[in-house]
Amino acid sequence: MDIHIKNNLSIPERELTFTASRSSGPGGQHVNKVNSRLTLHFNVPECPALSPTQKKLLFSSLASRITTDGIFRLDCQKHRMQSMNRAELIERFSSLLRGALTPKQFRVATRISKSVKNRRLEEKKRHGQIKKKRSTHNDMD
């Protein structure tokens, strides 16, 4: 089964490795005896589905989640069932990769028009006049 990332990119599920462990936090006896926490491991440099430029993008965008060996790690212990944690991990994995591989749109700087500048200055003057009228100082000495 393939995990769909973008239009022309799918990663085979066999590229992912899952390890189970006991989750932390409240839950009583259930938490103490069931390995419901899952950790997803994905070897970025060894993945044949990714191009070298895509790998560079992943290393720069997701640097905090990738180890020095190039292993991308994600944890999930939200649900009590391992299968639900697995489904959530796969969804988070695909959304993180999708976000890292989409090109960033840069803002094109535009000029502020004269009318907008004048309107802003007039509003500032009007506001200043209102505040001046509120003043209780009498200049009659």
Quick: pLDDT tens for 108-136: 999 999 999 999 999 999 999 999 988 87
Q: Is residue 67 part of a domain?
A: yes
Q: Is residue 16 part of a domain?
A: yes
Counting the structural domains of the chain, the total is 1
Is the whole model's pTM more than 0.85, yes or no? Answer: no
Contact between 10 and 3 (Cβ < 8 Å): yes
The 3-state DSSP class for residue 72 equals strand
Residues spanned by the domain of 97: 2-101
pLDDT at residue 120, rounded to an integer: 96
Q: Is residue 122 part of a domain?
A: no
Q: Is residue 62 part of a domain?
A: yes
pLDDT of 1 strictly over 90: no
pLDDT of 31 strictly over 90: no
Residue 26: CATH number of its domain: 3.30.160.20
